[in-house]
């Protein structure tokens, strides 16, 4: 029995309870969690913006130590540090075959599996595949990747979602070039990772946008050279900071229709707008045909940073070891499992960066 945060049903409060976790079967790995990040996607699962089978154990951004492996697992062994990969690619669907592993058709198929049982015997699902809001978890072998050398295990949890997403939004989706101006909307965990990635790419100016003035210090520490408090004049203010043109690239990390529209309006003619934030079906964004033609902007979605974790983790590790990427700077509070509901409330209130559950 291990302690876990269980979502009994959409819209219900999390339950901190003990669950009966089975030993790993063939092709599975048991991991003792060192840390798990509290991501906005977990909040989206709890309120129904994203749908997965319930009841389930939430948490998808984590790292820990392998306790045991099932038959056929040979790329990790007991004692190894691993990063959890919540969206593993199957390697054989159309998207995987053309190199778009982040769009794998089977990436979330494991969410329907029976992961564990509650103390009352009810069947529990693994949220986004990995059920990281627990002291231990059992996952498919393709859901774990070795922690790169030189990366602290607790910090490595952030590589599982926020950092890969922010890095990929800059380097894979928007393809930011040195000297280009970048506006980043939303200074949470993903936004802070995006700002660091833009700085590493040599972008400038780098402008952070948020509803909270308290986020300015965090944003500037991550690489922002300017900060704009979100308002009806945000796009105009960004144009003022970019010689009247607008940003070459705008990256939206909020998932709100009004923010997506503002990000698009703040992008220069011919610029690129990348949407990272996950919004609900009720968030409708509208454009007229003439403005689409006239502005010539590109608007694109971005799933998991359009990243291939196996290929990107070694690159990120090199930046971490060289001191260019600071994982700890994304974290504004360390909590236990019982602190997750408050972390959700802080997200809704626009407070802080990443909350990290430390076991």
Predicted pLDDT of residue 72:
95
Contact yes or no for 337/357 (Cβ under 8 A): yes
**Which pLDDT score, from 0 to 100, does residue 214 have?**
93
Collapse the DSSP code of 74 into the 3-class scheme (helix H, G, I; strand E, B; otherwise coil) and give the result. Answer: coil
Long-range CB contacts (within 8 A, 24+) of 101-105 = 101/308, 102/168, 102/303, 102/304, 102/305, 102/306, 102/307, 102/308, 103/303
Which pLDDT belongs to residue 52? Answer: 85
CA distance 336 to 331: 14
- What pLDDT shows up at residue 32? 98
Closest CA to 191 of 203, 205, 172, 209: 209
Mean pLDDT by runs of 10 across the 359 residues of the chain is 94 93 96 95 86 91 97 96 94 95 92 91 93 96 94 94 96 97 96 98 97 95 97 97 97 95 97 93 93 96 94 95 94 95 90 93
* Rounded Cα–Cα distance for residues 296 and 273 (Å): 11
The token pair at 150 is 């030189």
pLDDT of residue 208: 98
Distance CA 12, CA 170 (A): 35
Residue 349: predicted pLDDT = 86
Confidence (pLDDT) at 19? 96
Q: How many CB atoms lie within 10 A of CB 328?
A: 11
Q: How far apart are CA 45 and CA 52, in angstroms?
A: 7
- DSSP 8-state code for residue 23: P
Give me the pLDDT at residue 261, please.
97
The pLDDT, as a whole number, for residue 237 is 97
Helix (H, G, I), strand (E, B) or coil at 138: strand
Pick from 114, 118, 142, 117: nearest CA to 126: 114
Q: In which element (H, E) is residue 44 found?
A: helix 40-47
pLDDT at site 65: 98
pLDDT, position 46: 86
Q: What is the pLDDT of residue 14?
A: 93
């Amino acid at each position: 029995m291990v302690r876990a945060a269980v979502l009994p049903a959409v819209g219900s409060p999390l339950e901190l309870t003990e669950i009966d976790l089975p030993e790993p079967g063939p092709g599975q790995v048991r991991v003792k969690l060192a840390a798990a990040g509290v991501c906005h996607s977990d909040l989206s699962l709890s309120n129904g913006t994203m749908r997965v089978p319930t009841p389930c154990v939430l948490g998808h951004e984590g790292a820990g130590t392998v306790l045991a492996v099932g038959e056929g697992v040979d790329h990790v062994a007991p004692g190894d540090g691993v990063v959890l990969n919540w969206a593993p690619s199957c390697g054989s669907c159309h998207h995987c075959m053309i190199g778009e592993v982040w769009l794998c058709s089977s990436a979330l198929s494991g969410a329907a599996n029976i992961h564990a049982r509650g103390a009352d015997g009810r069947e529990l699902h693994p949220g986004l595949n990995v059920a990281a809001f627990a002291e231990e978890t059992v996952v498919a072998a393709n859901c774990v990747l070795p922690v790169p050398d030189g990366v602290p295990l607790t910090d490595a949890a952030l590589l599982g979602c926020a950092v890969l997403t922010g890095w990929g939004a800059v380097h894979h989706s928007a393809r930011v070039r040195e000297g280009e101006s970048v506006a980043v909307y939303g200074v949470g965990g993903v936004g802070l990772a995006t700002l660091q990635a833009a700085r590493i790419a040599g972008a400038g100016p780098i402008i952070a946008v948020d509803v909270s003035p308290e986020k300015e210090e965090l944003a500037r520490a991550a690489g922002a050279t300017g900060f704009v408090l979100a308002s009806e004049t945000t796009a105009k203010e960004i144009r003022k900071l970019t010689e009247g043109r607008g940003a070459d690239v705008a990256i939206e990390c909020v998932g709100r229709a009004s923010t997506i529209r503002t990000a698009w309006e703040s992008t220069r003619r011919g610029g690129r707008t990348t949407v990272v934030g996950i919004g609900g079906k009720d968030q409708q964004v509208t454009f007229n045909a003439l403005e689409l033609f006239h502005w010539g902007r590109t608007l694109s979605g971005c799933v998991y940073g359009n990243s291939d974790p196996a290929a990107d983790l070694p690159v990120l590790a090199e930046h971490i070891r060289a001191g260019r990427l600071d994982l700890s700077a994304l974290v504004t509070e360390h909590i236990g499992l019982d602190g997750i509901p408050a972390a959700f409330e802080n997200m809704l209130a626009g407070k802080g960066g990443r909350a990290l559950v430390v076991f």
